[in-house]
Amino acid sequence: MLAWRVIDFGWLLGAELRNTITAVKWGTYYLLKASTTDAGYVQLGDPISDHNCWERPEDMDMLRTVYKIDQNHPGSDVG
């Protein structure tokens, strides 16, 4: 959505255009690093226990499971 905003209305952002493009690049690089040729990593942690914890992420000591989608673990809804 942010990239679409830059494409359609980037001229309205003025001085913030450079910061907005940096944010779009950060998100793009994150998605590229979270995927490989045969798998994609889609979530870290358990959403229920994470939302019940009011600590900083750096202080969380609970199990933080990584969820991966591949041929054996499909996930077309997040893929």
Please tell me the predicted confidence (pLDDT) of residue 79: 62
Please tell me the predicted confidence (pLDDT) of residue 22: 94
- 25 pLDDT band, cuts 50/70/90, is very high
Asked if the model's pLDDT at residue 17 lies above 70, the reply is yes
The closest alpha carbon to 57, from 68, 42, 44, 40, belongs to 44
CB count within 10 Å of CB 43 equals 15
Asked if the model's pLDDT at residue 36 lies above 80, the reply is no
CB count within 10 Å of CB 56 equals 7
Domain ranges of the chain: 1-33, 37-79
C-alpha 10/C-alpha 35 separation (Å) is 29
Name the pTM for this structure.
0.54
Token duo for residue 20: 């907005």
Asked if the model's pLDDT at residue 9 lies above 90, the reply is yes
